[in-house]
Amino acid sequence: MDSLIQNSRTTRYYGGVVVLCVAVALLYYFLVSQRGYVELEVQTDNATIFKVYWAKSAGQWSERHVGKINLYPSVSKYSFKIGDLGSIKQLRFDTSERPATVQLQSIKISQTGYDSILFQKKEDFQKLAPVAGIENSTIDENGLTVVPSTDDPQLVFNISDLNKQGKAWAELFVILSLTLIIIGIAYFAKELTTTDQYVTYFLVFVLALVFVMASISKPNRHPDEFVHIYAGEYYYDHNIPPAIGDPDISHTYSNYGVSRLHSGEIVYLFAGKFGKILENFHLSSYFSLRMFNVFLLLSLILLSISRYDFRVLLIPLLVSPQIWYVFSYFNSDAFALFVVILSGYQLSSDQSMLNKTLCSSKINWKSILVFVVCGVLLSLLLLLKKNFYFYYVFIFFYFLWRVYFKKSILSWSYLLKLLCVLAVGISIFSGVRYVDYKINDFAKADKLLEARENIALEMYKPSTPLHEKHIYLQMKERGTTLSHFIDLDRWGEKSFRTSFGVYGYTSISASFAYYDLVRILGLLLLATVMVVIFYKGNIEGISLLSITLSVSLGLIVIAFYHAWTVDFQAQGRYFLPIVGMLGVLLIHTRRYLVNPVFIFLLLGMYGLSVYNFVFVGLLGIEKCCFGII
């Protein structure tokens, strides 16, 4: 019987490999073989956006048929994809969406099976006809220089019949090569994916990348890092929070008149003590505090080595470089995610010390130790930043789900033990809050408002008239409609991009093509998970998937509403609680997802993440020498 089951699993596995081979062949044909490839050499005096529109008949332009790339003064060579040259009759080059003088030095458009279109010499550029938005254009030995008169300068090129070249054998060779590669990876990866050991190996490489970013990037080149560092430095020599408005901490306040020391987050105490220990190595404070977050990632990797469920819980970390990025500079998000992952393991894994103790009939000194450790973990969970409150909502519904589908836990012994953990956690949490509020005479909210009024820049003060405040504050009250906020202010697109690879103060981003590819693979991966769970997960898996998706959607909706009504900051790190929720979901449904489609899509997301972190993040961030001086 066991051999029959094993043979059935093997058949399904390699059946999935065949499906994947066919899917990859089709994707290659439609997304690579049937697409034109633009290689651009250009100079610009300002950052702007270069676009290429294509039309199947003259003048029929559409936003659905456009390829675009960000241009920067320091970069001269670019590449991106457009449509199938075989069906294109006209091209339109929009040289700059934002004010910029652009010099086109070379444009090459190629596609397998057709002669290349090349603009490099004077006579080539003379074929580009100015049609709108151009104040002046000149052609010399350096290329075509375009000075725009509007934000939509346009050059048009009519494509005559392109000479076709035989490409069937070349295409067949590429497809066969891809098929052999997929089959080879599937064969060698079968055992590795069954135990999910690859998660640990991949994260070790991520750790190396994170360490490099932490080491070479200049101080305060990451979102709000300076206010986090000041908060961490305070706890080098202090053990309790300061009073609001204390002159000794005036440097810790941001332009909003807010100090992280008053946020109620416990992370700064731990990070400060960690940095104090590293003082003996004569490291700079910003580097020491960054090492705290690097150490958190290292701890997660070490815990994953011998724990299968923990490795499963870490799978969502592989899909986005933005998650890695929060571990590479000092902030409070990395610690919050660390605590969420630890708590998720204790709650969801049958092999965790919490669940083993709760389900055991014995109570001894080890049980008491587990109650204390898990109680401390609970208190840390309650002392995280506000966007992680949605994880509490998830835990509540998850507990109800677990009670319903794991009826064995319904016993007085189990509930009494659980109450012991809750008592320890809530006691510690209450003690921390009591100390914090006592320092400020239980009038913390009023004092925080007063501090904002006294310390914030004029455009961020609560009393400043609305029309004089920063343009991204209270946008709904200013009259910004919902459609305008979505379509023109592009909250959704900006939030998506900052969830999958934007660095610095959101100034370092990848090409449009990268985000489009991430969008495609990410949606395919999500669809694969949902379809497999709906098909194999029964009501148990489907209900947990529904809980995860509902709470995640709730977090996104609240983040959107806050951005529209309070402060527009499209930051993907606000969605980090979803990582913990997805990890819990995978622990209960991973057995359904041991298939090559899921693995290859996951590998695709991981590969894109590595590319983005290295060639966008590490390459683009402002660098210094190691943080030891």
Residue given tokens 């966007």 in the structure block = 387
Tokens standing for 71? 């241009």
On the question of pLDDT at 2 being above 60, the answer is no
**Angle of helix 267-278 relative to helix 225-234, nearest 10 degrees?**
70
CA distance 331 to 265: 11
Helix (DSSP H) and strand (DSSP E) numbers for the chain: 23, 13
Please check whether residue 170 is in contact with residue 187, taking contact to mean a CB–CB distance below 8 angstroms: no
CA distance 423 to 419: 6
In Å, what is the CA distance from 283 to each residue of 44, 221, 278, 279, 625?
Answer: 40, 18, 7, 6, 12
CA distance 571 to 498: 6
* 3-state SS class at 155: strand
CA distance 336 to 202: 22
On the question of pLDDT at 609 being above 60, the answer is yes
Mean per-residue pLDDT for 384-398?
93
Q: How confident is the model at residue 5 (pLDDT cuts 50, 70, 90)?
A: very low
Cβ within 8 Å of residue 533, ≥6 positions away: 541, 542, 545, 589, 592
Chain segment 612-622, per-residue pLDDT in tens: 999 899 988 88
Residue given tokens 């990632």 in the structure block = 297
Name which residue leads in pLDDT, 533 or 29. Answer: 533
Please check whether residue 301 is in contact with residue 200, taking contact to mean a CB–CB distance below 8 angstroms: yes
CA distance 503 to 506: 5
Put simply, whether the predicted model's pTM sits higher than 0.75 gets the answer: yes
In Å, what is the CA distance from 542 to each residue of 6, 150, 510?
Answer: 26, 53, 35
Domain ranges of the chain: 39-168, 472-620
Please check whether residue 509 is in contact with residue 616, taking contact to mean a CB–CB distance below 8 angstroms: yes
Residue 628: what pLDDT? Answer: 44
Question: What separation, in Å, do the N-terminal and C-terminal C-alpha atoms of the chain show?
Answer: 65
On the question of pLDDT at 26 being above 70, the answer is yes
What is the residue type of 235? Y
Q: What is the DSSP string of 14-79?
A: HHHHHHHHHHHHHHHIIIIITS-EEEEEEEESS-EEEEEEEESSTT---TTSEEEEEE-TT--EEE
Residue 166: what pLDDT? Answer: 57
Cα-based torsion angle of the residue sequence 169, 172, 173, 179 in order, rounded to the nearest 10 degrees: -170
| The length of the chain, given as a count of residues | 629
Tokens standing for 383? 């002392």
Tokens standing for 61? 């332009």
Q: Does domain 39-168 have CATH number 1.25.40?
A: no
In Å, what is the CA distance from 6 to each residue of 1, 186, 193, 409?
Answer: 9, 17, 15, 32
Name which residue leads in pLDDT, 575 or 363. Answer: 575
Task: Give me the chain's average pLDDT, please.
Answer: 87
* 3-state SS class at 450: helix
DSSP 8-state secondary structure symbol assigned to residue 156 = E
Chain segment 305-346, per-residue pLDDT in tens: 989 899 999 999 999 999 999 999 999 999 999 999 999 999
DSSP 8-state secondary structure symbol assigned to residue 501 = S
Chain segment 435-480, per-residue pLDDT in tens: 988 888 778 888 888 888 888 888 989 888 888 888 888 888 888 8
Cα four-point dihedral sign 168, 170, 171, 172? positive
Name which residue leads in pLDDT, 628 or 101. Answer: 101
Q: How confident is the model at residue 561 (pLDDT cuts 50, 70, 90)?
A: very high
Residue given tokens 């055992």 in the structure block = 191
> Which of 74-88, 97-111, 390-404, 511-525 is predicted with the least confidence, judged by mean pLDDT?
74-88
